[in-house]
Every structure is written in structure tokens, then in C-alpha cells.
């Protein structure tokens, strides 16, 4: 099938292009890109795309799958459909499933399920029932440690051979001797390794960023130092050993300063924050909505400003979604007792565009880069420019379309989001993969 997207706004962070073009897509490939295209075959489907945005498919660095073990929260099928509906053509799942993804056999099992999906293109605007086939490409993080205590390394070389995208536990590793050993062992394997720096002794039973809002809301606080001391320790190990690392879930202004200094000194690091940490601060917690119970917690207004500036400057390389589904029953309890995390694959692009791009704080290129080419680079991957004859891995987005966040309008099986029941502006129209 051949399609002509007429006068679509092409945002291509690879080529640094933001402008109006005609784009021809034929049989899964970009066939032509020009300011105007009139020479087309009679069977070409012409689509008026004025007001729509076309960019490379989005890449999510890390999110949680319910399957295996917690299929009531999310299956691989629903996860991939939610990703495609949100514009993500590649998604990387964390290994904290049940069982943990710590052996080649489980990696192969999940890869087989992934390959059961069909390729082509996906339109979230079609009926949600029956569900359309998944389109997003699934990549798998391999676990670093075998046991809950995090004291024994997995067979990292075997997992690398099995095809994992990289290594992380998705949880804090506080045994610095083990972290050092991991960095030494992984050096020749050439796979990304990601750490979530967080001192759990300093975190203790906290659920909210330390400060006046935590006092006002009567919630146990988490000091900034719970994150920054762990980052400082990790940076010292990287400086000594030299293995490149990715720092996950950056949430404080001081963390941004530490990472900026380390990058200026030439340390081989990349970093990411999550989309909700760019949009909300501690004041939002006044509703006690358990979907705002995150780990790390939402920062204060200074943290939010520093994270936004860090993303724009490239100090924070990428925006991750960290999609964390939980069932209704799991989240309906007191704020401090609820599990931390929220969904986001279908919500992130509309909300980030509305509150960062439409306000003029970010350019469209800056946001799209942080959601596509930059996260791919953190994984040692590349995103293709929107030029012929590249494969069509693309996202078509309507910044003006309004829709309501309701269970019936979501592909994810969970609904733990603070935006449930609200009207959003902006929705993905189609993805090609």
C-alpha cells in the first residue's frame, strides 16, 4: 500500500528538520520526502495531514511488564499495544517480573512471544475491541543479580548472548563491591548497564520529597541525599573503572549538577529522568492520589526546573516513561501504603507536548529528540532520519485532538494515573513499525 501524507509537519531530530513536507510511505518504507509531491500513482491513498506532526517512532528506555507473573496488571500484548497507541515503536522492559528475567531460557521465551506479533502499521483511533496486533518492538533488560538481596551476579555473559538489550535490576543496588564487580565484568561485553542510584537507608519509610509540602501533608519524607550520595558513589566507581553506565530516574536538581560535572570531566555516562518528574512537583501530592506516589518521589519546583533545563541542555539525555501498571485493588489504599508507580505510555507525549512545547519552554525538536533518538543512543542503537529509502518507523501525532482518559480509551489493562477522568489535548493518530 502507498500513502501520501500531504503537508505534514516533519520533526526529525536526526536531520535537525522541523518543517512542512509531503511524505510518501510505500510497503513499509519511506519512498519520498519533498516540499510538494504531485507525481503519484493512481492507487496512492492521499491523506490531508495539515496540523499533524510526523516524527521518528518514540523509544522508551524502561518500563514494567506485568507478564510473566502479574498478568492482571499488564500482559505483553496490552503493553505493546499501549506503547504503539502512545507513539512508541520500541519499548524496553525491566527484568523485575515473576520470575525475574535472569536466565537465557526466560529471555528466549519472551522473545518468542514478542515475535508472535505482526508488523505493519497501527492506528489507536480504531476500535479498542477487538484489540489490534501489537506493533512496538520489544527489547528486554537482563537482571544484574539473582537474589532479592542483590548479592549474587547473574550469568551476565550468557544473558548477553541471549540477546538482552543491556543490564539493570531496576532497583537500587547498594552493595558497592558488587557494583564495582559488575562494571569490571561487563567492560568487554559491550552492553549498556543502567543503575538506579538510591540509598535505601536514607530513604527509610519515606514516600515524598523532603520539604515543607511533606510536613504540610503529613507524609514521611525522603531526603535529596538519598539520591545524590548514591550518584556520587557510582560516579566514583565509573571514574575508576571506566565502564559506561546509564543513570536512571534522576529526580533532583543537585543530581543534575553532579551529572553535568561528571560529563564535563569526560566520564562515560548517560542519564534519564521520567516524564512525570518533568510535569509535576510536590504540590500535586495534596490530593493524596496514590498514582502520584512515585519512587523516586516528585521533586520540588526547583527540581522540576533543573530537570527541564537538564533535558534541554543534554545533561539529562532522555525522557523515560517508566510505565508501572498496578491493579485497582493494589492502588486503593492509604498513600504511604500504596505501591509506587503510575502508567504513562499512552499519556506522556500528549501531556509533555501540551505543557512543554505549546508553552514554548521546549522546542518540538528538543522534546522529540529526548523521546526518540537520544534514548536509542543510550542503548547503543540508532533512529533513522526521515529520508528515503529508510524503513518507516514513524509516529503521526495530532497535537489538537482532545480525548478523555478512561478505561475504555486505554489499551493498558491498568488505570493508575492521576489524569484518569480528565480531558487531554493531543493524541497519536498512527504508528508505523
Helices (H), 28-168: 76-85, 104-115, 156-162
* Look-up of cell digits 497501527: 122
Confidence of residue 126 (pLDDT cuts 50, 70, 90): very low
**Sheet harboring 58-63: ordered strands across?**
58-63, 88-93, 137-142, 166-167
Question: Measuring CA to CA, how many Å separate 88 from each of 141, 168, 227?
Answer: 17, 21, 29
119: pLDDT strictly greater than 70: no
Alpha helices (H) along 163-242 = 176-186, 200-203, 212-217, 225-241
Inter-residue contact 411 to 85 (CB < 8 Å)? yes
pLDDT exceeds 70 at position 64: yes
The pLDDT assigned to 280 comes to 98
For the ranges 115-124, 261-270, 287-296, 350-359, which has the lowest average pLDDT?
115-124
Which pLDDT belongs to residue 429? 96
Q: What is the mean pLDDT of residues 317-343?
A: 97
- pLDDT-derived band at 218 (thresholds 50, 70, 90) equals very high
Cβ contact 290:417 at 8 Å: no
- What size, in residues, is the chain? 433
Rounded to the nearest angstrom, the gap between the alpha carbon of residue 180 and the centroid of all alpha carbons in its chain is 27
- Active-site residue (options: 96, 281, 295, 322): 322
Mean pLDDT value across residues 262-274: 98
Calculate mean pLDDT across residues 121-135.
50
Rounded Cα–Cα distance for residues 271 and 368 (Å): 16
Percent of the chain with pLDDT over 90: 90
Residues 6+ apart with CB under 8 A from 141: 62, 92, 93, 94, 95, 101, 164, 165, 166, 167, 168, 170, 194
Model pLDDT, residue 131:
41
**Confidence band for 408, pLDDT divided at 50, 70 and 90:** very high
CB of 290 within 8 A of CB of 347? no
In degrees and rounded to multiples of 5, residue 403 shows phi and psi of -160, 160
Does residue 129 register a pLDDT over 50? no
- Give the chain's mean pLDDT: 94
Q: How confident is the model at residue 112 (pLDDT cuts 50, 70, 90)?
A: confident
Lowest mean pLDDT among 82-86, 90-94, 146-150: 146-150
Helix (H) / strand (E) element for 8: namely strand 2-12
| Cα–Cα dist 385/373, whole Å | 9
At 41 the pLDDT is 87
| Rounded average pLDDT over 346-361 | 98
Q: Quick count: other Cβ atoms within 10 Å of Cβ 188? A: 10
Q: C-alpha grid cell for residue 263?
A: 560529563
Q: What is the mean pLDDT of residues 33-51?
A: 93
Residue 218 CB: number of other CB atoms within 10 A?
10
In 40-164, where does DSSP find H-type helix? 76-85, 104-115, 156-162
What 8-state DSSP symbol labels residue 24? E
With a cut of 60, say whether residue 389 has pLDDT above it. yes
Q: pLDDT tier at 395 (50, 70, 90 boundaries)?
A: very high
CA 209 – CA 314 distance, rounded (Å): 25
Q: For position 115, what pLDDT does the model report?
A: 62
Q: Return the number of other C-beta atoms located less than 10 Å from residue 265's C-beta.
A: 10
Coil, strand, or helix at residue 108?
helix
Question: Rounded to 5 degrees, what are φ and ψ at 212?
Answer: -65, -35
Integer angstrom CA distances of residue 80 from 15, 53, 60, 89, 392 = 28, 22, 11, 9, 18
Answer yes or no: is pLDDT of 133 > 50: no
pLDDT at 135: 62
Whole-number Å distance between alpha carbons of 278 and 282: 12
Using CA atoms, how far residue 390 sits from 25, 227, 369, 376, in Å, is 10, 41, 18, 17
Which of the four pLDDT bands, split at 50, 70 and 90, describes residue 195? very high
Dihedral of CA atoms 33, 38, 42, 47 in degrees, nearest 10, equals: 60
> In angstroms, rounded to a whole number, what is the distance separating the alpha carbons of residues 110 and 116?
10
Over range 226-247, report the average pLDDT.
98
pLDDT of residue 103: 95
Taking the C-alpha atoms of residue 269 and residue 267, their distance in angstroms, rounded to an integer, is 6
158 is catalytic: no
Report residue 136's pLDDT band, with 50, 70 and 90 as the boundaries: confident
Is the distance from CB of 142 to CB of 166 less than 8 angstroms? yes
Q: Is the dihedral of CA 151, 61, 260, 385 positive or negative?
A: positive
| Inter-residue contact 362 to 312 (CB < 8 Å) | yes
| Domains with residue ranges and CATH for the chain | 57-384 (3.20.20.140)
In terms of Cβ atoms closer than 10 Å to its own Cβ (0-12, 13-18, 19+), residue 340 is middle
Amino acid at each position: 500500500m502507498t500513502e501520501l501524507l500531504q503537508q505534514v509537519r516533519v520533526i526529525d531530530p536526526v536531520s535537525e528538520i522541523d518543517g512542512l513536507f509531503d511524505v510518501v510511505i510505500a510497503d513499509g518504507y519511506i519512498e519520498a520526502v519533498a516540499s510538494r509531491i504531485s507525481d503519484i500513482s493512481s492507487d496512492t491513498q492521499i491523506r490531508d495531514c495539515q496540523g499533524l506532526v510526523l516524527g521518528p517512532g518514540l523509544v522508551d528506555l524502561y518500563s514494567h511488564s506485568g507478564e510473566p507473573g502479574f498478568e492482571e496488571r499488564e500482559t505483553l500484548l496490552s503493553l505493546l499495544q499501549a506503547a504503539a497507541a502512545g507513539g512508541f515503536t520500541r519499548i524496553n522492559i525491566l527484568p523485575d517480573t515473576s520470575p525475574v528475567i535472569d536466565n537465557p531460557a526466560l529471555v528466549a521465551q519472551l522473545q518468542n512471544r514478542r515475535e508472535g506479533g505482526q508488523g505493519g502499521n497501527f492506528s489507536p483511533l480504531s476500535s479498542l475491541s477487538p484489540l489490534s496486533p501489537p506493533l512496538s518492538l520489544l527489547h528486554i533488560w537482563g537482571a544484574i543479580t539473582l537474589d532479592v538481596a542483590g548479592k549474587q551476579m547473574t550469568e551476565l555473559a550468557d544473558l548477553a548472548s541471549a540477546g538482552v538489550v543491556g543490564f539493570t535490576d531496576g532497583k537500587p543496588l547498594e552493595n558497592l563491591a558488587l557494583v564495582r564487580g559488575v562494571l569490571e565484568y561487563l567492560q568487554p561485553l559491550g552492553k549498556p548497564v543502567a543503575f538506579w542510584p538510591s540509598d535505601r537507608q536514607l530513604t527509610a519509610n519515606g514516600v515524598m520529597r523532603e520539604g515543607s509540602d511533606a510536613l504540610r501533608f503529613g507524609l514521611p519524607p525522603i531526603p535529596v541525599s538519598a539520591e545524590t550520595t548514591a550518584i556520587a558513589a557510582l560516579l566514583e566507581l565509573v571514574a575508576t573503572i571506566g565502564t559506561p553506565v546509564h543513570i536512571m530516574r534522576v529526580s533532583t536538581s543537585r543530581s543534575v549538577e553532579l551529572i553535568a560535572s561528571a560529563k564535563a570531566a569526560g566520564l562515560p555516562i548517560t542519564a534519564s529522568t521520567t516524564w512525570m518528574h518533568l510535569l509535576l512537583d510536590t504540590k500535586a501530592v495534596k490530593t493524596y492520589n496514590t498514582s502520584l506516589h512515585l519512587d523516586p518521589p516528585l521533586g520540588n519546583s526547583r527540581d522540576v526546573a533543573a530537570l527541564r533545563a537538564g533535558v534541554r541542555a543534554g545533561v539529562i539525555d532522555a525522557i523515560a516513561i517508566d510505565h508501572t501498571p498496578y491493579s485497582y485493588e493494589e492502588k486503593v489504599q492509604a498513600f504511604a501504603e500504596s505501591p509506587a508507580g503510575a502508567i504513562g505510555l499512552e499519556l506522556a507525549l500528549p501531556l509533555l507536548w501540551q505543557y512543554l512545547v505549546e508553552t514554548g519552554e521546549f522546542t518540538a525538536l528538543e522534546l522529540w529528540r529526548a523521546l526518540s533518538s537520544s534514548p536509542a543512543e543510550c542503548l547503543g542503537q540508532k533512529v533513522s532520519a526521515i529520508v528515503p529509502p529508510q524503513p518507516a518507523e514513524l509516529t503521526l501525532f495530532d497535537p489538537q485532538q482532545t480525548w478523555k482518559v478512561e478505561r475504555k480509551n486505554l489499551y493498558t489493562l491498568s488505570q493508575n494515573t492521576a489524569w484518569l477522568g480528565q480531558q487531554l489535548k493531543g493524541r497519536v493518530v498512527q504508528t508505523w513499525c
